[in-house]
Amino acid sequence: MKVIQVMAGDEEGGLENHFVELSNGLAKLGVDVVAIGHEKYADRFDDVVQYHCLDLSKSRRNPLTLFKLATVIRHENADIIHAQANKAVAMLASISGLVDGLKIATIHNQKRSRAMFNNMDAVIGVSKGVVANLKHPKLHVVYNGMEPFHGEYLTRADLATNFNLDSSLPISIAVGRLVPTKAFDNLINAWNTDFGQLVIFGDGPEKEKLADLIEQRNLEGRIKLAGFYQGVRSVLKAVDLLVFSSHREGYSYALAEALLAQLPVVSTRVAGAEETLPEPHLVPVNNILELSNTLKVCLSDLQQTKQRMESVFTWAQKTLTVANMVSQTHQVYLQTIEDTK
């Protein structure tokens, strides 16, 4: 079986990790893998993966870019072309009549525009939530997988020293780019001094706005904007809670990392979290009062909070692995090929 993986972004995050880890994992299974993406990712692939450097990060309608993409795909003559995320799917849909092979798309986040998926032979969602409103006869869910953490976890004392925290108080974290869709302003407005400390890891255009809000609420001693931190995964054993206040998600890699580290999570009802977390840990999107009340309950009895999560932690150990993600994706390929015979 020969498979082409296509990814149109040029950023750093869960989508890019998925693109690389799935390609490398499929190659280990014996699949002939060709990956097409930005040159910045070229050195992240195993030698057995053939990588075509093609910058697809500009307009998805650029005729020259689409021609180059179609040329590479036609040259490789693969059984399956697998497009990762909406932009790559839209580009594949635009040239679908020019290239042979079965077309498969993976949805990584909730989007309003869904028409391009009608041209696909099968669709994969990284959670049930991202495909909940999609009508397609060949619909599958394959959760994002994480490689085991091989680094060294920080101790609580080291974390407190590094970020000037009081280790005797509860420590919660939030992770993500400081952009409106993450709704960190709601989280700051929901925070109470009785909740202990909150460290927000991430950078972005809302940094100054969020810093001003923290000051307005006199929470400088309780909430810290820590900026981008490469080692976020290393702190997960040293803290008490991960909080998501987002308006929308796909299946957050930070959520998967937390569950694998057995860290309790509170989240708004977004895709991934809503189908994974226990009911007492979920709050409506944009409901600051409910978020505050849920945080109060969870942080006031951390032992009980962790006990409510035990079955989720067990599920995560079996499901949220790269091996499981690769195996299930491979099964989708085999099923799609069988369905067309």
pLDDT band with cut points at 50, 70 and 90 for residue 112: low
pLDDT band with cut points at 50, 70 and 90 for residue 272: confident
Decide if 33 contacts 47 (C-beta within 8 A): no
CATH class label, 2-145+321-339: alpha beta
What's the mean pLDDT when you consider all of the chain?
Answer: 93
pLDDT band with cut points at 50, 70 and 90 for residue 12: confident
Give the model confidence (pLDDT) of 284-335 as tens digits: 999 999 999 999 999 999 999 999 999 999 999 999 999 999 999 999 999 9
Give whole-number Cα distances, 173 to 104, 157, 205, 225, 242, in Å: 36, 16, 19, 10, 5
The pairing of strands 102-107 and 80-84 is: parallel
Per-domain residue ranges of the chain? 2-145+321-339, 156-319
Contacts of 220 (CB under 8 A, 6+ apart): 214
Strand arrangement, sheet containing 50-53 = 50-53, 32-37, 2-7, 80-84, 102-107, 122-125, 139-141
Give the model confidence (pLDDT) of 170-228 as tens digits: 999 999 999 999 999 999 999 999 999 999 999 999 999 999 999 999 999 999 999 99
CA distance from start to end of the chain:
15
In this prediction, residues 123-143 reach a mean pLDDT of: 90
In this prediction, residues 71-87 reach a mean pLDDT of: 94
3-class SS of residue 102: strand
Contacts of 137 (CB under 8 A, 6+ apart): none
CATH for 156-319 is: 3.40.50.2000
CA distance 103 to 249: 25
Q: Specify the pTM.
A: 0.84
Whether pLDDT at 109 is above 90: no
The pairing of strands 241-244 and 171-175 is: parallel
In DSSP notation, 61-100 reads T-HHHHHHHHHHHHHH--SEEEEEHHHHHHHHHHTGGGS-
Decide if 177 contacts 202 (C-beta within 8 A): yes
Which tokens sit at 270?
Answer: 């977004």
Identify the pLDDT of residue 249. Answer: 83
The reply to whether domains 2-145+321-339 and 156-319 share a CATH topology is yes
